[in-house]
Amino acid sequence: MPNCKLNSEKFLTFISTFLESLFLLLILMVPLSVTLFTSELFEWPKMMLTYLFTILILFLFLLRSFLQRKIALYPTPFEKFILPFLMLLTLSTLFSLNFYTSFWGYYSRFNGSLLSWLAYFILFYVFLAVFKTKEQLSRFLHFLLASAAIVSIYAVLQKLGIDKNFWVQHSWERVFSTLGQPNWLAAFLDGVIPIALAFFLIKSSELIKFCCIKQIFKLRLKGWLSVLALLSLLILFAFSLIFTQSRSGIAGLLGALGCGVFILIIKLKSKLKLFLLGLLIFATAFLALTKSSSISSFLTEAETTRIRLIVWQGTLNLIAAHPILGTGPETFAYAFLPFRPAQLNQTSEWDFVFNKPHNEDLGIAAGSGLPGLILYIAFSVALSFRTLKFLLKEKVDSTWFLVWGILMAEATLWITNFFGFSVVVTQLLFVLLAACLLILVSSRQPAKFKEYHLSTILRNVGLAFTMVATVLALLFWSRFWLAEVAFVQGKSYLDSDPAAAFKKLQLTVKLNPWEPRYREKLAQAYAKAAATDGNQRPELIRLAAQEANFAYRQNPHDYILREGLIQTYLKLAALEPKYFAEALNLARINVQKSPTNPYDYYFLATLYHSQNRNTEALDAVKAALSLKPDYTQAQDLLTQLE
Counting every residue written for the chain, the total comes to: 642
pLDDT of residue 539: 93
Statement: residue 433 has pLDDT above 50: yes
Burial tier of 253 (Cβ tally within 10 Å: 0-12, 13-18, 19+): buried
Residue of 69 and 322 predicted with greater confidence: 322
Statement: residue 522 has pLDDT above 80: yes
Q: What's the predicted TM-score (pTM) here?
A: 0.93
**395: in domain:** yes
Per-residue pLDDT tens digits for 121-142: 999 999 999 998 889 999 999 9
Statement: residue 168 has pLDDT above 80: no
Quick one: what percent of the chain has pLDDT higher than 70? 89
**48: in domain:** yes
Q: What average pLDDT does this structure show over 607-635? A: 94
pLDDT of residue 212: 47
CA-closest candidate to residue 15, choices 71, 70, 57:
57
**374: in domain:** yes
- C-alpha angle 200/206/212, rounded to 5°? 125
pLDDT of residue 300: 43
**303: in domain:** yes
| Number of compact structural domains in the chain | 1
Residue of 12 and 48 predicted with greater confidence: 48
DSSP string, 134-167: HHHHHHHHHHHHHHHHHHHHHHHHHHTTTTTTT-
**585: in domain:** no
Question: 30 lies in which domain range?
Answer: 2-98+110-210+220-453
Q: Give the range among 67-71, 217-221, 316-320, 362-366 with minimum mean pLDDT.
A: 217-221
**24: in domain:** yes
Q: What is the mean pLDDT of the chain?
A: 88
DSSP string, 227-247: HHHHHHHHHHHHHHHHHHT-H
Q: What is the band of 440 on the pLDDT scale with cuts at 50, 70, 90?
A: very high
3-class SS at 528?
A: helix
At a CB cut-off of 8 Å and minimum separation 6, what does 420 contact?
183, 187, 248, 358, 359, 360
**609: in domain:** no
Statement: residue 292 has pLDDT above 50: no
pLDDT of residue 217: 53
Q: Give the range among 30-44, 296-310, 474-488 with minimum mean pLDDT.
A: 296-310
**424: in domain:** yes
Q: What are phi and psi of 307, to 5 degrees?
A: -60, -45
Statement: residue 504 has pLDDT above 50: yes
Per-residue pLDDT tens digits for 573-582: 999 999 999 9
